[in-house]
């Protein structure tokens, strides 16, 4: 079928799907069905090729960082912005950005793909660059085991034609380098002083803290972090930036994004523009976003696995804040509650937790009880809990740790019954 | 007043510790405290000297890489563990260590990994992964709730009894309705969840055995289980 016709059909399905409400993958599915080479043909025309961002934690915000940093350098970037991080989502996003002749007006594509989808994607479309963030205990009931996840990411790296950016501090990710021969390898990493506040799963389970790979040279090193001011080091120079993004894990991933952007731009990199774009980046939807409700800040922190939850608790000081925790166990959250027992909640002991909610509120409350963390109320009904949380704590800034589907409900609720200023999405 | 000490050994804390295994340790430690004892946690890792006065031994699951790291060490301490088990030391082994407490694990490629044979069980690696919420029932412990995630399928020999019978889920294998195994005071099971926080009857069984072995009798106050009860009821109703 001619490409023009495929494009027209796809675009028609996309507007139909939008009218129906949502369904970002459906038009992509239609196009993939009619023309399996659609994505490949379209992406192969890009002068700077394709970048894949993968790993278990922080893909969405990191992808957003890479895109905005490259845009700050003057490139036109195509990305699967809706976070529909699989092949059909990419096809669907393409449909929105191509013209009727099927041409994509962009210099480079930056795609977020989870490991299970990336592994198939790279067989069809080998990327020029890939960035591998981490391998953490995430969605294990979907993918089986961590070793398996690492193998998938290794395959993604092997299919990459030019440069692979790896996390030096994650032993499973750093080990991928030994399986690569033709690619340029760049590591992002942490200074020894910062390593301790970024526990990987591996490090968490051992008393021997000396398993970091810090003898490997880094391309970009996060060397200092004081509140929101971060210093990154590369090429014997340093870049200090006051960041909007919060959460130390996001800030570490900024080092990853910087390394990737350095690889893409080479000697054309404009350092002052890099700093100014970096300072402007805000977190992706639901990943540490701040909403103002009744004149008080309300932070939504997405937690989906033990490492993410631990890092969240380390990143955000609970004093002065009222805390709510919302735990669902829908398919998208993962059904297994074991992960809550791999998180140490004792840092909430002094302030306590105001309300515990979600389908598995009682599992969470039980978890807090075993860590001797007090809580005011357990209420599995998210709607009631959010209302109570806001009504009861009118004069305090608030923070909600929530799993993915709980976050979706909470955002919906907040936009419905309170006046929301400055929703960042 | 000096509180009576109970030594809790976390077997292979570094390499066999996944899906909330630390929740089991925490539950034992806290409940001992709440009952008025002084629990001491000893983490045992390959090459360490095996603690002489182990009162309770808890072990968990691991990645394939974790299992290969501990296998030789486990075989070397096997006779000690068997001796302790025969003398009534309570133990709880989840998933990976449950399998290796058995006679062998035969992988899907035909390789046989030797276990210590403390439990009369055999495990066979299969391609199908048994994953999801699970509820079993035992006369001794009532309903047992948890989450299973394993591709090894385990078959029980005559010297062990099943820990429970599966009501919802898969259990030891896809051929019979058994889940886990119990021999003297040693419990093996596939249940994560974590197991002990939502199944305090099993936690208290292990604690009672340990305290009775060491001090002759188990005096204890009651623990408020109201949260636990609701958490159990919710868990039982969740989809697989």
Cβ–Cβ contact A175 with B under 8 A = no
CATH for A23? 3.40.1190.10
Q: Does A22 or A167 have the greater pLDDT score? A: A167
Looking up residue A353, the CATH number of its domain turns out to be 3.90.190.20
**Do residue A256 and residue A220 come from a single domain?**
yes
Phi, psi of A177 (to 5 degrees): -55, -35
pLDDT > 70? residue A206: no
Nearest by CB to residue B231, choosing from A146, A208, A362, is A362
Q: In terms of residue numbers, what domain contains B232? A: 5-237
Last residue of a domain, one of A225, A253, A280: A280
- Extract the tokens encoding B20: 């909330």
**Claim to verify: residue A214 and residue A331 sit in the same structural domain:** no
- Name the band, by pLDDT with cuts 50, 70 and 90, for residue B162: very high
Region A119-125 average pLDDT: 89
pLDDT above 70 for A323: yes
**Average pLDDT rounded to a whole number, residues A252-263:** 96
Contact status, residue B231 vs residue B237, Cβ threshold 8 Å: no
Helix (H, G, I), strand (E, B) or coil at A111: strand
- What pLDDT was estimated at residue A332? 82
- Min Cα distance B84 → chain A (Å) is 26
CA distance A376 to chain B (A): 13
Mean pLDDT of A211-221: 79
* Interface test with chain B among A144, A148, A205, by most B beta carbons within 10 Å: A205
Mean pLDDT of B188-208: 97
For β-strands A229-234 and A220-226, DSSP reports them as: antiparallel
Q: Does A272 share its domain with A303?
A: no
Taking 90 as the threshold, does the pLDDT of residue B159 lie above it?
A: yes
- Write down how long chain B is: 240
Predicted pLDDT of residue A306:
84
Contact call for residues B14 and B43 (beta carbons, < 8 A): yes
pLDDT given at position A91: 75
Q: Among B129, B133, B234, whose Cβ lies nearest the Cβ of A144?
A: B129
At A17, list the tokens. Answer: 């799907």
Average pLDDT estimate for B124-136: 94
pLDDT at A139: 41
CB contact under 8 A, B234 and A363: yes
- The count of structural domains within chain A is 2
Looking at the fold, whether A224 and A307 belong to one and the same domain comes out as: no
CATH number (domain holding residue B175): 3.40.50.880
Which residues of chain A neighbour B230 with C-beta distances below 8 Å?
Answer: 362
**pLDDT higher than 80, residue A36:** no
- All residues of chain A having their beta carbon less than 8 Å from the beta carbon of residue B63 are 145-147
Check whether residue A121 and residue A18 sit in a common domain: yes
| Two structure tokens written together for A379 | 């209420």
Is the ipTM above a cut-off of 0.85? yes
Orientation angle between helical segments A87-97 and A115-124, nearest 10 degrees = 60
Nearest to B30 among A359, A362, A370 (CB): A370
Half-sphere exposure of A179 (CA within 13 A, CB side): 18
Distance, CA of B124 to CA of B110 (rounded, Å): 9
- The reply to whether A8 and A157 lie within a common domain is yes
What mean pLDDT is predicted for residues B39-52? 95
Determine the average pLDDT of the residues in A51-76.
Answer: 93
Q: Which of B13, B64, B235 is facing A147, going by the closest CB pair?
A: B64
Q: How far apart are CA A311 and CA A302, in angstroms?
A: 11
User: Which pLDDT value is given to residue B16?
Assistant: 87
Q: Are residues A59 and A24 in the same domain?
A: yes
Residue A236: name the closest of A253, A251, A215, A219 by CA.
A219
Q: Are residues A25 and A164 in the same domain?
A: yes
User: Rounded mean pLDDT of chain A?
Assistant: 83
- Segments forming the whole domain that contains residue A349: 287-421
Separation CA A357–CA B33 (nearest Å): 28
Q: Do B149 and A336 touch (CB under 8 A)?
A: yes
**Which residue among A205, A207, A367 places its CB closest to the CB of B17?**
A205
> Quick count: other Cβ atoms within 10 Å of Cβ B119?
29
Q: State percent of chain A over pLDDT 70.
A: 80
CB-CB neighbours of B126 under 10 Å: 15
Confidence of residue A11 (pLDDT cuts 50, 70, 90): low
Task: Give yes or no for a contact between A48 and A42, defined as CB atoms under 8 angstroms apart.
Answer: no
Of A218, A252, A280, which residue sits at a domain end? Answer: A280
**Closest approach of chain B CAs to the CA of A165, in angstroms?**
25
CB atoms B234 and A141 under 8 Å: no
Range of A2-16, A73-87, B61-75 with top mean pLDDT: B61-75
Cα A198 to Cα A190: distance, rounded to the nearest angstrom: 9
* pTM, rounded to two decimals: 0.74
CB B148, CB B131: distance < 8 Å:
yes
Query: At B157, is the pLDDT very low, low, confident or very high (cuts 50, 70, 90)?
Result: very high
Same domain, A404 and A370: yes
Contact residues on chain A for B18, CB-CB shorter than 8 A: 137
Q: Tell me how many residue pairs between chain A and chain B have CB atoms under 8 A apart.
A: 92
Token look-up 């069984």 returns: B205
3 state DSSP class of A288? strand
B131 chain-A contacts, CB cut-off 8 A: 141
Q: Do A363 and B235 touch (CB under 8 A)?
A: yes
Task: Give yes or no for A210 touching B (CB within 8 A).
Answer: no
Best probe of the A interface among B11, B12, B16, B22, by most A CBs < 10 A, is B22
Among all residues of B, which ones are annotated catalytic? 95, 192
Q: Which residues are CB-neighbours of B240 under 8 A, at least 6 positions away?
A: A335, B132, B133, B134, B168, B169
Task: Report yes or no: A237 at the B interface, CB cutoff 8 Å.
Answer: no
Judge if A336 and A397 occupy the same domain.
yes
Residue A339 and residue A393 in one domain: yes
pLDDT in tens, A72-115: 999 999 988 655 556 666 777 777 777 777 778 899 999 998 88
**Exposure string (b/e) for A317-342, b if CB count within 10 Å is 16 or more?**
ebeebbbbbbbbbbeebbbbbbbbbb
Q: Among residues of chain B, what percentage have pLDDT more than 90? A: 85
Pick the last residue of a domain from A252, A280, A308.
A280
Q: What's the total number of domains in chain B?
A: 1
Judge whether B95 and B192 are in contact, CB under 8 Å.
Answer: yes
B-chain residues within 8 Å CB-CB of A137? 18-19
A394/A92: higher pLDDT: A394
Query: Are A257 and A341 in a shared domain?
Result: no
For residue A128, the number of C-alpha atoms closer than 13 Å in the C-beta half-sphere is: 17
């Amino acid at each position: 079928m001619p490409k023009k016709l495929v494009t027209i059909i796809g675009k028609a399905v996309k507007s139909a799907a939008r009218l129906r409400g949502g369904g970002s993958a459906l038009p992509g599915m239609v196009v993939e069905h009619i023309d399996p080479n659609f994505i490949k043909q379209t992406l192969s025309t890009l002068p700077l090729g394709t970048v894949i961002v993968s790993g278990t934690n922080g893909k969405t915000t990191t992808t957003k960082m890479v895109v905005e940093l490259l845009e700050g350098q003057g490139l036109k970037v195509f990305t699967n912005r809706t976070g529909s991080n699989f092949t059909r989502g990419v096809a669907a996003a393409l449909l929105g950005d191509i013209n009727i002749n099927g041409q994509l007006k962009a210099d480079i594509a930056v795609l977020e793909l989870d490991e299970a989808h990336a592994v198939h994607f790279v067989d069809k479309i080998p990327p020029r660059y890939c960035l591998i963030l981490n391998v953490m205990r995430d969605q294990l009931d979907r993918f089986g085991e961590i070793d398996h996840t690492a193998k998938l990411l290794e395959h993604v790296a092997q299919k990459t034609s030019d440069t692979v950016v790896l996390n030096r501090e994650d032993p499973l990710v750093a080990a991928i380098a030994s399986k690569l021969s033709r690619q340029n390898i760049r590591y992002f990493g942490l200074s020894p002083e910062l390593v301790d506040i970024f526990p990987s799963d591996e490090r968490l389970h051992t008393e021997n803290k000396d398993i970091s790979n810090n003898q490997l040279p880094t391309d970009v090193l996060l060397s200092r972090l004081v509140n929101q001011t971060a210093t990154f080091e590369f090429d014997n120079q340093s870049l200090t930036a006051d960041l909007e993004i919060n959460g130390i894990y996001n800030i570490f991933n900024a080092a990853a994004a910087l390394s990737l952007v350095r690889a893409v731009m080479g000697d054309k990199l404009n350092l002052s523009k890099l700093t100014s774009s970096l300072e402007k980046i805000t977190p992706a939807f639901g990943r540490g976003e701040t909403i103002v409700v009744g004149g008080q800040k309300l932070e939504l922190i997405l937690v989906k696995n033990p490492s993410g939850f631990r890092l969240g608790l380390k990143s955000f000081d609970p004093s002065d804040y009222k805390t709510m925790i919302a735990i669902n166990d829908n398919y998208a959250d993962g059904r297994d509650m074991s992960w809550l027992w791999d998180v140490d909640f004792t840092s909430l002991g002094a302030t306590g937790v105001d309300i515990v909610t979600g389908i598995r509120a009682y599992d969470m409350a039980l978890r807090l009880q075993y860590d001797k963390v007090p809580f005011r109320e357990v209420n599995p009904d998210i709607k009631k809990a959010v209302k109570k949380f806001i009504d009861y704590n009118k004069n305090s800034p608030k923070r909600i740790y929530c799993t993915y589907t709980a976050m979706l409900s909470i955002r919906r609720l907040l936009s419905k019954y309170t006046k929301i200023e400055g929703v960042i999405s | 007043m000096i509180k009576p000490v109970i030594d809790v050994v976390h077997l292979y804390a570094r390499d066999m510790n996944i899906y909330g295994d630390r929740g089991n340790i925490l539950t034992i430690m806290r409940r001992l405290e709440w009952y008025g004892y002084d629990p001491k946690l000893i983490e045992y890792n390959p090459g360490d000297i095996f603690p002489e006065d182990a009162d309770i031994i808890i072990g968990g699951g691991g990645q394939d890489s974790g299992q290969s790291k501990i296998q030789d060490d486990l075989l070397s301490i096997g006779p000690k563990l068997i001796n302790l088990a025969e003398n009534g030391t309570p133990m709880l082994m989840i998933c990976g260590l449950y399998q290796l407490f058995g006679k062998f694990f035969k992988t899907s490629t035909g390789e046989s990994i030797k276990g210590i044979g403390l439990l009369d069980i055999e495990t066979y690696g299969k391609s199908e992964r048994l994953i999801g919420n699970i509820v079993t029932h035992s006369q001794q412990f009532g309903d047992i709730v948890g989450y299973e995630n394993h591709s090894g399928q385990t078959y029980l020999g005559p010297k062990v009894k099943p820990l429970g019978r599966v009501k919802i889920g898969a259990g030891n294998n896809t051929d019979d309705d058994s889940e886990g195994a119990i021999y003297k005071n040693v419990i093996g099971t596939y249940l994560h969840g974590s197991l002990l926080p939502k199944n305090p009857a099993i936690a208290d069984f292990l604690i009672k055995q340990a305290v009775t072995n060491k001090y002759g009798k188990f005096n204890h106050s009651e623990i408020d289980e109201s949260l636990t009860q609701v958490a159990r009821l919710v868990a039982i109703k969740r989809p697989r």
